[in-house]
Amino acid sequence: MAKIVLGLGTSHGPMLSTPPEEWGQRAIFDRQIRHHYRGETWSFAELVELRRDQHVAREITLERWRERHSACRQALARLAAAFEAAQPDIVIILGNDHMEMFEPAAVPAFSIFWGEALVNNPYSAEHMARLAPGQEIALPGHIPPGGARYPCASVLGRHLIEAAIAAGFDVASMKELPRDETPHAYGFVYRQIMSDRALPCVPVAVNTYYPPNQPSVARCYAFGKALAHAIECWDSDLRVALVASGGLSHFVIDEELDAAFLDSLRRGDIDKLGGFSEAHFQSGTSEIKNWLPLAGAMAELGFELGHIDYVPCYRSPAGTGNAMGFAAWHP
């Protein structure tokens, strides 16, 4: 039977691949939109006033940005080293889509790719035109120079689909993507965790972002338990790593929510999240749900959580930015 040898969780936000001197570019866009925060939506000015008495202002300095960026890069290096040491044969990447795979006409709650390969080409001119200020500079963080082709573990992908259906999860089956652009949740893992080593993967997508069919916290956690069982009953002697990509709270940082989530990881259950409604898990913060299938799988397997790095990276006095999280589980 297949053997799960490692679980990793990592943020994938553009700030990780942006020089800290340029973090202020993203704050330009932050001022133009309304933001989800603690179950409500707020203007930038409203958030500035709401968080005036918090510690945000001291985070908005170049010195602090450099400290935070360095801490993130060190944490990513630790995850890459753990991945290398585990020597997996196949990687299951748990991510989410930003209309890179799907269209608004049809967005599944859970989906599994079992095609032959992902193609990670540079963005088209049309896609580049849609980028927010400050995003273009971060593209090398998930797209290698000249692009790449990543083989996929199609046999395992099909097995996971069949096993998930048998377990009561109505997952979508994907054999092809609509364009030769790998979603950044997956490209980031290849570039930053696998160091461009093209191991066969199975991309699993959770619709964290787009109402009305976002899976609940509990459903995502249960899905991970089902995936763990499916992998372990796969008739193969290959070594499998699970990697969750995304989160933590953004585009408005919520350290209270992040702390409750990280405590849940340490405890091996999600009871701590019971005090937060589904309305808290919107916009970028919804990507915490990419970690929940991983957390469910690790709890089911009894893996030990080795370490957690948490780095809140603020970029404006409104508290906008990206709280970065990095964690590793071992048998």
Domains contained in the chain, CATH given: 3-330 (3.40.830.10)
Other Cβ atoms less than 10 A from the Cβ of 326: the count is 25
Q: What is residue 133's predicted lDDT score, i.e. its pLDDT?
A: 83
CB 205 within 8 A of CB 97: yes
Take residue 294 and report the two structure tokens written for it: 């991983």
Query: Which residue ranges of the chain lie beneath pLDDT 70?
Result: none
Q: Are 310 and 258 in contact (CB under 8 A)?
A: yes
pLDDT of residue 25: 92
- Which residues lie closer than 8 Å to 302 by C-beta, 6 or more apart? none
pLDDT of residue 126: 85
pLDDT at 33: 94
Nearest by Cα to 179 from 131, 121, 93, 116: 121
pLDDT score recorded for residue 124: 86
What's the token pair of residue 194? Answer: 């696998």
What pTM does this model have?
0.97
Identify the pLDDT of residue 160: 98
